Homo-oligomer: A and B are copies of this chain.
Amino acid sequence: MKYCHHCTAPLILRIPEGDDRERHCCNECNAIFYLNPKNVVGTLPVFEDRVLLCKRAIQPRLGKWTLPAGFMENGESSLDGAIRETREEAGAEIIVRADSLYTLFNLPSINQVYMFFRAELANLDFTPGYESEQVALFDEANIPWEEIAFPVVRSTLEHYFEDLPKQHFPVRMFDVHHGEDRQITTRLISHSHTFHKVD
Protein backbone atom coordinates (compact mmCIF):
# COMPACT_ATOMS: atom_id res chain seq x y z
CA MET A 1 0.00 0.00 0.00
CA LYS A 2 2.00 2.93 -1.31
CA TYR A 3 -0.34 5.58 -2.73
CA CYS A 4 -3.63 7.15 -1.68
CA HIS A 5 -6.76 5.57 -3.23
CA HIS A 6 -8.39 9.00 -3.33
CA CYS A 7 -5.68 11.42 -4.50
CA THR A 8 -2.55 9.34 -5.44
CA ALA A 9 -0.31 11.12 -2.88
CA PRO A 10 2.29 8.81 -1.24
CA LEU A 11 1.00 7.17 1.96
CA ILE A 12 2.85 7.67 5.24
CA LEU A 13 2.88 5.01 7.98
CA ARG A 14 2.17 6.96 11.19
CA ILE A 15 -0.03 6.94 14.30
CA PRO A 16 -3.08 9.16 13.69
CA GLU A 17 -4.26 11.48 16.47
CA GLY A 18 -6.34 9.62 19.05
CA ASP A 19 -5.09 6.25 17.78
CA ASP A 20 -2.39 4.00 19.24
CA ARG A 21 -1.00 2.18 16.23
CA GLU A 22 0.48 2.97 12.84
CA ARG A 23 -1.90 3.33 9.89
CA HIS A 24 -1.42 4.17 6.23
CA CYS A 25 -2.19 7.90 6.20
CA CYS A 26 -2.45 10.44 3.38
CA ASN A 27 -1.01 13.82 4.33
CA GLU A 28 -2.61 15.45 1.27
CA CYS A 29 -6.31 14.56 1.67
CA ASN A 30 -6.12 13.25 5.28
CA ALA A 31 -7.55 9.81 4.38
CA ILE A 32 -6.61 6.93 6.69
CA PHE A 33 -6.58 3.35 5.37
CA TYR A 34 -7.30 0.67 7.96
CA LEU A 35 -6.45 -3.01 7.54
CA ASN A 36 -8.74 -5.42 9.38
CA PRO A 37 -9.24 -9.19 9.54
CA LYS A 38 -11.43 -10.83 6.91
CA ASN A 39 -14.10 -13.44 7.58
CA VAL A 40 -14.15 -16.78 5.80
CA VAL A 41 -17.55 -18.48 6.01
CA GLY A 42 -18.53 -22.04 5.14
CA THR A 43 -20.72 -25.03 5.90
CA LEU A 44 -20.47 -28.62 7.08
CA PRO A 45 -23.10 -30.17 4.76
CA VAL A 46 -24.38 -33.56 5.92
CA PHE A 47 -26.45 -36.30 4.28
CA GLU A 48 -27.45 -39.09 6.69
CA ASP A 49 -24.13 -40.23 8.23
CA ARG A 50 -21.93 -38.68 5.56
CA VAL A 51 -20.38 -35.23 5.13
CA LEU A 52 -19.74 -33.41 1.88
CA LEU A 53 -16.16 -32.45 1.00
CA CYS A 54 -14.70 -30.62 -2.02
CA LYS A 55 -11.37 -31.48 -3.64
CA ARG A 56 -9.64 -28.19 -4.35
CA ALA A 57 -9.01 -27.29 -8.00
CA ILE A 58 -7.10 -24.13 -7.07
CA GLN A 59 -4.16 -23.04 -4.93
CA PRO A 60 -3.49 -23.04 -2.05
CA ARG A 61 -3.72 -26.75 -1.15
CA LEU A 62 -4.64 -27.82 -4.69
CA GLY A 63 -5.90 -31.43 -4.69
CA LYS A 64 -6.64 -31.47 -0.95
CA TRP A 65 -10.13 -31.90 0.52
CA THR A 66 -12.01 -29.09 2.23
CA LEU A 67 -15.44 -27.95 3.39
CA PRO A 68 -17.09 -25.37 1.10
CA ALA A 69 -16.02 -21.92 2.39
CA GLY A 70 -14.83 -18.56 1.14
CA PHE A 71 -14.52 -14.87 1.91
CA MET A 72 -17.65 -13.19 3.27
CA GLU A 73 -18.73 -10.40 0.91
CA ASN A 74 -20.04 -6.94 1.68
CA GLY A 75 -23.84 -6.87 1.77
CA GLU A 76 -24.38 -10.41 3.04
CA SER A 77 -24.64 -12.12 6.43
CA SER A 78 -22.11 -14.75 7.48
CA LEU A 79 -24.71 -17.51 7.04
CA ASP A 80 -25.84 -16.19 3.64
CA GLY A 81 -22.18 -16.13 2.58
CA ALA A 82 -21.71 -19.72 3.75
CA ILE A 83 -24.81 -20.84 1.79
CA ARG A 84 -23.52 -19.00 -1.30
CA GLU A 85 -20.08 -20.62 -1.05
CA THR A 86 -21.72 -24.05 -0.71
CA ARG A 87 -23.66 -23.44 -3.91
CA GLU A 88 -20.62 -22.04 -5.75
CA GLU A 89 -18.04 -24.64 -4.74
CA ALA A 90 -20.19 -27.76 -4.43
CA GLY A 91 -23.32 -26.91 -6.45
CA ALA A 92 -25.20 -28.00 -3.34
CA GLU A 93 -28.50 -26.77 -1.93
CA ILE A 94 -28.71 -27.01 1.84
CA ILE A 95 -31.21 -26.82 4.67
CA VAL A 96 -30.10 -24.82 7.70
CA ARG A 97 -31.57 -25.46 11.16
CA ALA A 98 -31.96 -23.01 14.04
CA ASP A 99 -28.75 -24.16 15.75
CA SER A 100 -26.54 -23.95 12.66
CA LEU A 101 -23.61 -21.89 14.00
CA TYR A 102 -20.96 -24.43 14.95
CA THR A 103 -17.26 -23.45 14.93
CA LEU A 104 -15.36 -20.15 14.93
CA PHE A 105 -11.62 -19.88 14.43
CA ASN A 106 -9.46 -16.83 15.03
CA LEU A 107 -6.32 -16.91 12.87
CA PRO A 108 -4.46 -13.79 14.04
CA SER A 109 -1.25 -14.77 12.19
CA ILE A 110 -3.03 -14.44 8.84
CA ASN A 111 -5.74 -11.92 9.82
CA GLN A 112 -8.73 -14.19 9.25
CA VAL A 113 -11.76 -15.40 11.18
CA TYR A 114 -13.42 -18.63 10.02
CA MET A 115 -17.06 -19.51 10.78
CA PHE A 116 -18.65 -22.86 9.93
CA PHE A 117 -22.38 -23.65 10.00
CA ARG A 118 -23.89 -27.13 10.16
CA ALA A 119 -26.33 -27.86 7.33
CA GLU A 120 -28.20 -30.73 5.70
CA LEU A 121 -28.09 -31.44 1.98
CA ALA A 122 -31.52 -30.79 0.44
CA ASN A 123 -30.79 -33.40 -2.26
CA LEU A 124 -27.88 -35.25 -3.89
CA ASP A 125 -27.68 -33.04 -6.98
CA PHE A 126 -24.30 -31.56 -6.05
CA THR A 127 -21.66 -30.92 -8.67
CA PRO A 128 -18.15 -29.39 -8.55
CA GLY A 129 -17.97 -25.62 -9.10
CA TYR A 130 -15.12 -23.61 -10.64
CA GLU A 131 -12.87 -24.00 -7.56
CA SER A 132 -13.50 -27.73 -7.03
CA GLU A 133 -12.12 -30.74 -8.89
CA GLN A 134 -14.52 -33.17 -7.26
CA VAL A 135 -17.30 -33.18 -4.63
CA ALA A 136 -18.09 -36.31 -2.63
CA LEU A 137 -19.75 -37.66 0.51
CA PHE A 138 -17.68 -39.44 3.17
CA ASP A 139 -18.65 -41.33 6.30
CA GLU A 140 -16.31 -41.01 9.29
CA ALA A 141 -14.28 -44.15 8.45
CA ASN A 142 -13.56 -42.91 4.94
CA ILE A 143 -12.69 -39.24 5.54
CA PRO A 144 -9.32 -38.64 3.82
CA TRP A 145 -7.76 -37.37 7.09
CA GLU A 146 -4.27 -37.18 5.59
CA GLU A 147 -5.52 -35.12 2.67
CA ILE A 148 -7.49 -32.39 4.47
CA ALA A 149 -6.60 -28.91 3.16
CA PHE A 150 -6.76 -26.77 6.32
CA PRO A 151 -6.53 -27.29 10.12
CA VAL A 152 -9.85 -25.42 10.62
CA VAL A 153 -11.57 -28.00 8.40
CA ARG A 154 -9.92 -30.93 10.18
CA SER A 155 -10.89 -29.52 13.59
CA THR A 156 -14.50 -28.90 12.53
CA LEU A 157 -14.80 -32.47 11.18
CA GLU A 158 -13.19 -34.00 14.29
CA HIS A 159 -15.57 -32.18 16.63
CA TYR A 160 -18.54 -33.05 14.45
CA PHE A 161 -17.87 -36.80 14.63
CA GLU A 162 -17.26 -36.46 18.37
CA ASP A 163 -20.55 -34.60 18.89
CA LEU A 164 -22.61 -36.75 16.53
CA PRO A 165 -23.30 -39.75 18.84
CA LYS A 166 -24.51 -37.34 21.55
CA GLN A 167 -26.54 -35.29 19.04
CA HIS A 168 -25.32 -32.21 20.88
CA PHE A 169 -23.31 -29.63 18.97
CA PRO A 170 -22.01 -26.85 21.21
CA VAL A 171 -20.70 -23.67 19.56
CA ARG A 172 -16.93 -23.66 19.91
CA MET A 173 -14.38 -20.92 19.30
CA PHE A 174 -10.68 -21.63 18.73
CA ASP A 175 -7.46 -19.69 18.30
CA VAL A 176 -5.19 -21.02 15.57
CA HIS A 177 -1.53 -19.99 15.74
CA HIS A 178 0.92 -20.35 12.90
CA GLY A 179 4.31 -20.92 14.52
CA GLU A 180 7.74 -21.06 13.00
CA ASP A 181 8.54 -24.20 10.97
CA ARG A 182 4.97 -23.95 9.57
CA GLN A 183 3.69 -25.55 12.78
CA ILE A 184 0.02 -24.83 13.43
CA THR A 185 -1.64 -25.17 16.85
CA THR A 186 -5.38 -25.02 17.49
CA ARG A 187 -6.63 -24.13 20.98
CA LEU A 188 -10.22 -24.23 22.25
CA ILE A 189 -11.02 -20.78 23.70
CA SER A 190 -14.78 -20.75 24.26
CA HIS A 191 -17.58 -23.30 24.05
CA SER A 192 -21.24 -23.22 25.00
CA HIS A 193 -21.71 -25.53 28.02
CA THR A 194 -22.65 -29.19 27.82
CA PHE A 195 -26.28 -29.60 28.76
CA HIS A 196 -28.92 -32.32 28.65
CA LYS A 197 -31.27 -31.58 25.81
CA VAL A 198 -34.67 -30.16 26.77
CA ASP A 199 -36.36 -29.19 23.49
Contact = CB atoms under 8 A, between A and B. Distances in A.
A79 B190 contact: yes
Q: Chain A: interface secondary structure? A: loop
A11 B193 CA distance: 49
The residue among A77, A80, A130 with the most chain B CB atoms within 10 A of its own CB is A77
Contacts of A185: none
- Chain A interface residue bracket vs B: 35 or more
A63 interface: no
Contacts of A61: none
Contact of A170 (B37, B72, B108, B192): B192
B98 A191 contact: yes
A1 interface: yes
Contacts of A113: 39, 72, 78
A155 interface: no
Interface in A102-134: 104, 106, 108-109, 111, 113, 117, 130
Given A2-B5, A4-B3, A101 B171 contact: yes
B34 A36 contact: no
B5 A6 contact: no
Contact of A77 (B34, B38, B175): B175
A37 B34 contact: no
Contacts of A192: 99, 101, 169-171, 192
19 contacts: A1-B6, A2-B5, A3-B4, A21-B73, A36-B38, A36-B73, A37-B74, A74-B111, A76-B108, A77-B108, A77-B189, A79-B175, A101-B104, A101-B190, A168-B193, A170-B192, A193-B199, A194-B199, A196-B198
